[in-house]
Amino acid sequence: METKTVQRRFDLDWLRVFGILLVFVYHSSRFYNVEDWTIKNNIWYLSVEVWNSFSTSFMMPLMFVISGASLFYALGKGGFGKFFKDKVLRLLIPLVVAVLTHISLQSYIWDKSHGLFSGSYFQFLPQYFNLATLNWNGAHLWYLKYLFLFSLILYPLFRWLKGRGQNFLTKLGGWLSRTGVLYMLTFPFLIVYSLVDADSPVMTSNGGYPYILYLWFILLGFLITSDQRIQEKIRQLRWVSLIGGLLLAAGSAVLIILVADQETITPTIIIGFTMRIFGGWLSVLGFLGMCMQALNFRTPRLDYASEAVLPFYILHQTVLLAVGYFTLQWGLPDVLEWTVTLAASFILIMVIYEFIVRRFNVLRFLFGMKPGVKPVAAQTKQTQLEPAVRR
C-alpha cells in the first residue's frame, strides 16, 4: 500500500469544482420546489422537488467523501498542531466571518419574506446580532462547521491508521476492494434509519442526510483513498456504478416524492429510501471513477477554479437570495426567471471574487484562502531593479 503523496490528485480538484457548481444549481432550484425556503416563487413544482430529491441523494455525500480523501493527504504534512491550525484557517474562520457579516442578509430576507420583520436591513441587524439566537450553523455553511468538527473527531483514528495501524489499513483495503463489499458500504445507514426514531436529535438532517451520517462519508473518503486497489476497483466499475447509481437515485426520487405516502411507513417508502441510500453511494463511486479515468490532469482553468471554489461556496447562497429577491418580483416566465437568476448570480459571485476577495490578502485570509503571490508586473519590476542595486 502506498501512503505517500507522489503527485496532486487533480481528479479530486475537478470533482470538487463540479460538486460546488452542483450545490449552486441545487440552491437556485429551491425557489421553485415544494419545500419551504428563504424566499419562494409564486408557483411550486413537484418536478423540481423530484430533482432536489435526486440530486441530494449524492450531492453532499460526494462533498464529504472528497473531504475525507483530502484529509488522507493532509495528515502527511505535520502533527496535530499544524492540522488544527489548517482547519481553523480553512474552515472555522470563514464560517465565523460569514456568520458575522453576509449571513445576516439571508436571515433578513427570510424574516421579511415570512412576515416576521417589516423594517429595513439596518433596522434588522440589532435583532440578528442577539448572541442567544445568532445562527452559528451558518445557513448553507453548515458543511464547514461539521467538516471542522468531524475532522477533529476522526483525527486520532486517521493518525493511527497512517502510523501504527498501517498493517490493519492494508488488510482492510484488500477487503474493501471487493466489488460486493465496496457497494455495500452504506448498508449501515439502513440500520440507523431502522433503529433510530426519525424525530430524534441524532437524526437532525441537512442536505438530504442526517448530519451524523456525514461522519461515515468522511471516513469512507479516507479509506478508499488509502489503498490503490480500492481506487483501481472504483475506476474499473465506473460505468456500472454511475449508470446504476443514477438510475437508483432517480427511481427513489420518483417513488418518495410522487408515489409514496411520506406521512406513514409503507413498503413503498422503505423501498424508496433503500434505493436512495445505495443509489447515492453508487453515484459517488461512479463520479469518482469517471474523474480518475478522464480528469487527472492540470490546466490553468483548474488552478483558478480550485482556488476560487471555497469563496464561491461561501458567497453563493447569499448572492442567489439577494438576486432572487428582486428577479422573483419581475413577473418573468419561470424558466427565464430561473435562468436570469442563475446567470446573474454566477456573474456577480465571480466579480466579487475576482476584484475584491482574490486581490487582497486580508480578504483572502477571511475567506479561507492562502496569501496571494505578488502580481506579475510587480515581480517583473523587482527583477529589473535588482541588477541596478547590485551595481
Q: What pLDDT, in 10s, does the model give residues 110-164?
A: 999 999 999 999 999 999 998 777 888 899 999 999 999 999 999 999 999 999 9
- pLDDT attached to residue 262: 74
- pLDDT attached to residue 376: 42
First to last CA, the chain: 55
More confident residue, 339 or 388: 339
Distance CA 111, CA 118 (A): 8
- pLDDT attached to residue 308: 97
- pLDDT attached to residue 383: 40
Amino acid at the residue 239: W
Averaged pLDDT for residues 204-224: 96
The stretches of the chain forming alpha helices (DSSP H) are: 10-29, 46-56, 59-74, 80-87, 93-99, 103-113, 121-128, 142-161, 166-176, 179-183, 187-195, 211-225, 228-236, 238-254, 267-294, 300-327, 334-352, 361-366, 376-390
More confident residue, 298 or 387: 298
Round the CA-based radius of gyration of the chain to a whole number and report it. 23
Q: Domain locations in the chain?
A: 10-76+162-296, 300-391
Distance CA 276, CA 354 (A): 38
207: alpha, beta or left, given left = phi > 0 and alpha = psi -120 to 50?
left
Q: Are 12 and 309 in contact (CB under 8 A)?
A: no
- pLDDT attached to residue 261: 75
Distance CA 65, CA 61 (A): 6
Q: Of 123, 45, 3, nearest to 338 (Cα)?
A: 45
Residue with cell 458567497: 315
**Residue 260 — pLDDT band, cuts 50, 70, 90?**
confident
Averaged pLDDT for residues 315-329: 97
- pLDDT attached to residue 76: 77
- pLDDT attached to residue 374: 58
**Does residue 312 register a pLDDT over 90?**
yes
Q: Of 130, 102, 43, nearest to 331 (Cα)?
A: 43
Q: Write out the three cell numbers for 179.
A: 466489488
366 C-beta neighbours (distance < 10 Å), count: 18
- pLDDT attached to residue 172: 96
- pLDDT attached to residue 2: 41
Q: Are 27 and 317 in contact (CB under 8 A)?
A: yes
Is residue 355 classed exposed, middle or buried when 0-12, 13-18 and 19+ CB atoms within 10 A define those classes? exposed
**Residue 385 — pLDDT band, cuts 50, 70, 90?**
very low
- pLDDT attached to residue 372: 84
- Alpha carbons within 13 A on the beta-carbon side of 201: 0
Distance CA 136, CA 313 (A): 17
Q: Which residues contact 252 (CB under 8 A, 6 or more apart)?
A: 53, 54, 57, 272, 273, 274, 275, 276, 279
208: alpha, beta or left, given left = phi > 0 and alpha = psi -120 to 50?
left
- pLDDT attached to residue 203: 93
Distance CA 320, CA 343 (A): 10
More confident residue, 75 or 382: 75
Average pLDDT along the chain = 92
Residue with cell 453511494: 281
The pTM for the full model equals 0.92
368: alpha, beta or left, given left = phi > 0 and alpha = psi -120 to 50?
left
Q: Write out the three cell numbers for 291.
A: 474523474
**Does residue 235 register a pLDDT over 50?**
yes
- pLDDT attached to residue 266: 86
- pLDDT attached to residue 7: 63
- pLDDT attached to residue 26: 98
Distance CA 363, CA 380 (A): 25
Q: Which residues contact 103 (CB under 8 A, 6 or more apart)?
A: 135, 138, 139, 141, 318
Averaged pLDDT for residues 51-63: 98
Averaged pLDDT for residues 261-275: 87
Q: Of 226, 214, 222, nearest to 186 (Cα)?
A: 214
Averaged pLDDT for residues 267-294: 96
